[in-house]
Amino acid sequence: MIHKKYLFVAVIAGTVILSSCTESEQAPGLEYMPDMYRSPALEAYIDYGSNKHMDLTQEEKDELGVVPVLSRLPVDGTVPFMGSNEMAQFAMPYPLNNTVEDYERSATEIKSPLLPTKTNVERGKEIYAHMCMHCHGKEGHGDGAISKNGHIAGIPDYATKLKELQAGKMYHTITYGKGLMGQHASQLNQLERWQVISYVQCLQQGVSTPEYDANNMLKLKVEAAAADTTK
């Protein structure tokens, strides 16, 4: 009888040991009908084998024919469609270049097209939390986590050093970057850039929770917008 018990234990142990070596974190698992995962129409971020082709020489690529490349830049001279005619102004090219002279020019030549409405400033606050806070800090004192952890030091405080910084210069800086700050044009469209600037203008005056009047306009006085173009 002992004999049979041993047999039973052996069967269980053998099964467990044999079946434990089949899963790997490196393998995604089985696909149900693989051709249903990759559509014939090219979709972003799907590997159609182009990664394998990256190390090929030009002749080898020519031999293969078209190798799908999924992350492409927009065609030169195209303007993004922003949804409506009013929004088209935010798709226009920025007139200044990434030079020292144009940075100075931006102070007077570039004006915000947005009024400091509640929608704009509050959206700006959200964008600030996503895009700016880890360096510039919650209240804009230049004390974000990256600064506190000692990776980038000396990020200027909006409320003191950058108190007088004009909106145009901010816009220029977000578009092209300045000093150690990189350009954020690929992450923020023009509308979002102006919205976040409208919130940074509150931080310049030391206000991190802005208040609004009965018309949903910012109570704080900030640099005037160029024109009321959003209505």
Partner 1 sequence: MRLSTILQHRFLVSIFAFLFFAQYTFAGVFEGGDATKGETLFKQNCASCHSVDGSLLAAPSLQGIDSRWAGKDALIVKWIQNPNGALATGDPYIVGMVAKWKGQFGMMAAQAVSEGDIKDIIAYVKTGGSAGGPKASDAPKCLTLEEIEAAKAELEGDDSGYVWFIIIGLILSIIAVSAANIKKSLATAVNERDGLPAPADRTYMQVAKAWMWTNKKFVGVLGFIIFCYISVVGYKSLMGIGVYQGYTPDQPIWFSHAIHACQNEIDCQYCHSSAAKSKHAGIPSVNVCMNCHKGIKKGAISGTKEISKIYEAIGFDADSSKYIDGYAQKPIAWNKVHNLPDHVYFSHQQHVTVGQIDCKQCHGPVQMYSVGHVATPAEINAQEDVTGLIKLEKETLTMGWCLECHNKAGIDPTKSDYYEEMHKRYKSNEVGKRTLSEIMEDGSMTVRENGGWECGKCHY
Q: Which of residues 60-79 bind partner 1 (CB under 8 A)?
A: 71
Give the whole-angstrom CA distance, residue 218 versus residue 94: 27
Q: Which of residues 203-222 bind partner 1 (CB under 8 A)?
A: none
C-alpha to C-alpha distances, 114 to 111, 124, 229, nearest whole angstrom: 9, 11, 7
The nearest distance, CB 189 to partner 1, in angstroms, is: 8
From residue 156 to residue 195, what is the string marking binding to partner 1 with x (rule CB under 8 A)? x----x---------------xxxxxxxx-xxx-------
* Burial zone of 178 (CB within 10 Å; 0-12 exposed, 13-18 middle, 19+ buried): middle
DSSP state of 222: -
Residue 202: CB atoms within 10 A of its CB come to: 24
**By CB under 8 A, residue 148 contacts partner 1:** yes
Give the whole-angstrom CA distance, residue 223 versus residue 231: 19
Amino acid at 38: R
- Closest CB to partner 1 among residues 93, 154: 154
- Closest CB to partner 1 among residues 146, 220: 146
From residue 100 to residue 119, what is the string marking binding to partner 1 with x (rule CB under 8 A)? x--x----------------
**By CB under 8 A, residue 1 contacts partner 1:** no
Give the whole-angstrom CA distance, residue 87 versus residue 229: 9
**Applying CB under 8 A, which of residues 105, 111, 118, 134 lies at the interface with partner 1?**
134
**By CB under 8 A, residue 14 contacts partner 1:** yes
Do the beta carbons of residue 110 and residue 96 sit within 8 Å?
Answer: yes
Question: Which helix (H) or strand (E) covers residue 172, if one does?
Answer: helix 167-176
**Applying CB under 8 A, which of residues 1, 2, 18, 214 lies at the interface with partner 1?**
18
The nearest distance, CB 227 to partner 1, in angstroms, is: 26
Size of the site for partner 1 (CB under 8 A): 64
Give the whole-angstrom CA distance, residue 171 versus residue 190: 9
**Residues of this chain that bind partner 1 (CB under 8 A):** 7, 10-11, 14-15, 18-19, 21-33, 36-39, 43-47, 51, 54, 71, 100, 103, 129-131, 133-135, 144-146, 148-156, 161, 177-184, 186-188
